Every structure is written in structure tokens, then in C-alpha cells.
Amino acid sequence: MTDRVSFWEWIGFRSVGGIAEAGWGRTLVVAVVSFIYFLPVLFIIFTAIKPQGLALSVPPTLSPTSFFGLIPDQFVFTPTLDNFASVFSRVMTAGGQPESTGFDRFFFNSIVIASASVLLALVIGTLAAYGFSRYPLKGNDTYLFVILTTRMLPAIVVIIPVILMFRAVGLSGSYLGIIMLYAAFNLAFTVWMMKSFFDELSTDVEDAARIDGSSEIKVFFKICLPQVVAGLAATFVFGLILTWNEFLFALLLTGPDTRTVPVAMNQAVSSGGRGTDWTLLAAIETLFLVPVFLATFFLQDHLLRGVTFGTVRK
């Protein structure tokens, strides 16, 4: 018994929080389940490196290698990187020259809109969370509940007035409009998540700094903020996941210059009456998945703690 525990500690696995430890047997079971769960995504990634002609072959081609003869030859295809190139530039009309598809612009739009709105919500929301946590107002809980309610509302309820409002003031199709709108939708959970992080800090250090004559601004930036960096990271990733793939508002409120990838992807694969271009769609989605996948991977420990909106206390 003691032998096994020391072995785990020796290779670097320690019990974290209340989690018990399990061995490689659990790893094997979970690996099989996770792999099956991941299969539809894997198929999309493999389609992205398929030659275009094989996308709709019967029987379907499944894998770029035969895994040492494990997979019969009829299901194996030769991988290619052409699809990724044709995301950005391809022949649009029969017999013509390759043209730019504008996808470099759409990727740029997606990155700008998603990160700007999440950062804006993070700045405003963190200030508000700090206020709710340290200087409670009269009716503090009511304000907090109203803020949470804005997240509960079906987005569809506000979409008609937002379209009318944006048309009236000329914000339709601009960066500012969609960024502000996404920021508002991200604010609710930003405030709740960040408040839970601020609530957990001990106020002793802050009080000591105040007695030593630090201004309130200095207390916030020098003492509180450095302690919640993990919380900021978790909130950022969570907001990114929710904003990155948003389709409905982007479809109705972005113009040709500010179009995001999900909208452009929808148009690229269904236009021209040629039916869906499977390998192209898969290549776009695979490229589009990379940033949010990496962000989630590196911040997943914080994410796990952040998603509970402060309902779980350590």
C-alpha cells in the first residue's frame, strides 16, 4: 500500500484537493471512453487532410495511416495539406486563377472581436466584482441577481431591438457594435466568477497596506489584482469559448468587413450551388479550433475552478 503511494509521488502524481488517486487501469478505461467521445472531432481533422475527391467516397476513408495494418487498406487515404492552402486562396470560377477568399480577414475579425469583447468584459467586470466584494452597496444582492438574470435571458429576446437600435445609430456592421454586445453578454459570468475569486482573498494584507497609507487604487492594483491572476485567466478562457463560436448575432450584426469565421464558414461551404465542400469546411474548422483549444488546454485547471460561479468554496 505505502509502496504504491510512494511510487505515484515519485513519478509526480499527488492527490489534489479531495481527489483520490487511481492507477493506469483507470487511465485505460477513460482513454477508451475519451477516444470514442473525440471520434467525431478526429474525423473532422482527418477530413481536413484528405484529398478533396475522397471526401464523399463509399466506403468512407477513415485514417491517414493503416496503423501497422490494423485498418484495412480501403479505409486509408493519403494525407495532403492542400485544403489548408485553399482556405485562404483558391480557384473560385472554372478555369480562372486562384483568388484570395478573404479568410485571412475573417480570422483576423474573429480574433479581434472575441478577444476585445472578452477583455472589455474582463476590465469592466473585474472592477464591478471588486466593488461588489469590497464596498457592498445598498441592495448588493439585488444588483448581482439582475446581472445574472441578463445571462439567463434567451438572447433571442433582445435581438430584434438590438438590430433596430444598431441600424438606427449606424453601428450595424461595425466592430464597436458587436464588441460591445458580446462584452455585455460576457459581463454576467465575469462579474460572478471574479467576485468569487475576490471573496476568497484574505483582507488582512489590504488593511495593513491601508494603515501604512496606500491609496485605494494602489491596494487594488498592487495587492488584490496579482492574487487573482488565475481567476482572470479562467474567466478569459470561459468567455473565449462562449464568444468564439457565436453565430446568430454575428450573422445578423456583422457586415462584409467585420464578418467572423463562423458566418463566413457557413457561406463558404453552402454557396455556389455545388453542395457542401467537405474538405474545405473541415480545414477551416480545424484552423479555427486551434487557438481556443490551446487556450483551454493551458488554463484548464483554473477553468475547472472558475465555472462554478463561486458556488464551490475551497
305 phi-psi bin (left φ>0, alpha ψ -120 to 50, beta other): alpha
Nearer to other proteins, 102 or 131 (CB): 131
Q: Toward other proteins, which CB reaches closer, 98 or 155? A: 155
- Tell me whether residue 31 or residue 92 sits nearer to other proteins (CB atom): 31
Return the number of the residue (18 or 95) whose C-beta is nearest other proteins. Answer: 18
Residues 122, 162, 224, 228: which binds other proteins (CB under 8 A)?
A: 162
Q: Give min distance, CB of 214 to other proteins, in A.
A: 14
Question: Counting contacts by CB under 8 A, is residue 30 touching other proteins?
Answer: yes
Residues 262-301 that bind other proteins (CB under 8 A): 262, 265-266, 269, 276, 278, 281-282, 284-285, 288-289, 292-293, 296-297, 300
Which neighbouring-strand residues pair with 100? 89
Q: Which stretch binds other proteins (CB under 8 A): 77-85, 88-96, 144-152, 221-229?
A: 144-152
# binding residues, other proteins (CB under 8 A) = 108
Q: Are 217 and 183 in contact (CB under 8 A)?
A: no
Nearer to other proteins, 112 or 241 (CB): 241
| 170 binds other proteins, rule: CB under 8 A | yes
Binding to other proteins in span 241-260, by CB under 8 A: 241, 244-245, 247-248, 252
37: contact with other proteins by CB under 8 A: yes
Q: Enumerate residues 6+ apart whose C-beta is below 8 A from 46.
A: 62, 63, 64, 282
Q: Which of residues 110-139 bind other proteins (CB under 8 A)?
A: 124-125, 127-128, 130-132, 134-137
Q: Say if residues 259 and 218 touch (Cβ distance below 8 Å).
A: no
User: Binding of other proteins at residue 33 (CB under 8 A)?
Assistant: yes
Among 4, 26, 218, 222, binds other proteins (CB under 8 A): 26
Residues 204-233 close enough to bind other proteins by CB under 8 A: 216
Give the span between the Cα atoms of 147 and 184, in whole angstroms.
10
In sequence order, the 6+-apart residues with CB closer than 8 A to the CB of 139 are: none
Q: From CA 269, how far away is CA 83, in angstroms rounded?
A: 13
Q: State in angstroms the smallest separation of the CB of 111 from other proteins.
A: 14
Q: Which helix (H) or strand (E) holds 300?
A: helix 278-306
**5, 85, 92, 169: which one binds other proteins (CB under 8 A):** 169
Residue 2 burial (C-beta neighbours within 10 Å; 0-12, 13-18, 19+)? exposed
Question: Following DSSP, what letter does each residue of 183-232 receive, concatenated?
Answer: HHHHHHHHHHHHHHHHHHS-SHHHHHHHHTT--HHHIIIIIIHHHTHHHH
